[in-house]
Chains A and B, each alone.
Chain A
């Protein structure tokens, strides 16, 4: 049971049990504020009846032409609320917004190639690996660019995998 609501800056003071998880990054304030000021509809928090933040999702709309799409920048769930299917629920909402509000062609996300758990989870949600981005996480690691087509791309053109990897500078969007 959870209510999905808009993320507000007060949530930054209460999201520690989500963000203290090692696999969740805490960013500087301008990063969050940029998302809130540009794409508030894409920044959502899910809260439990006791008021605790169960998890949140941040995203944005970007691209031009047939590359116009929704992007999942971060989706994370507090350890206490895992295995409830909450991430799937948040991603669903983001996909609905991409279709209803932005009329995007697809939704994409980047994930560490080593994060098999997450990759398999995204696959379960209908995402496929579109391409590999070399050195996306610095020298440390490559990323998979995973995509899911929306209704505006009925033939799922946006999901046809590239046959070669790309570099971060080749990406169409930041």
Chain B
């Protein structure tokens, strides 16, 4: 089984981080994984994205052209990638920035998360990315929530470790949206 995902948004929304958490969580579950960032002459305030592959086999191409999962944290990212998500796939999008409900791609589950408002409820508006990731995990079950929580310790630098409980709350808040 191979899962291919894209995390995309504005620079600063933490899309690279949630991509790394997905990959690291997959690795902690014994899977083969890759994480590949968009890079180069990127514009400040422009969009950033990363490709994540999680598989039972050695990963071939680390560049994901047709994902089965998408986390879109802003409108331009949703517009750019929603058309290439495979049927049966999942899109989690940031309803705080994307007001108009986009047209539903055929066979793809579209799930709105008001990441900014939910993050503020938790007490820090910077963890919207974690709320989105939690919801994505709840829908796709690509990686266990516990593995991603364990990955926080590996991915975040030590000076940020005091923020791990806050990030875990945000992940669980996102996950809870998908229950029931």
> Does A associate with B in a complex?
no
Q: Which residues of A contact B (CB under 8 A)?
A: none
Chain B residues near A (Cβ < 8 Å) = none
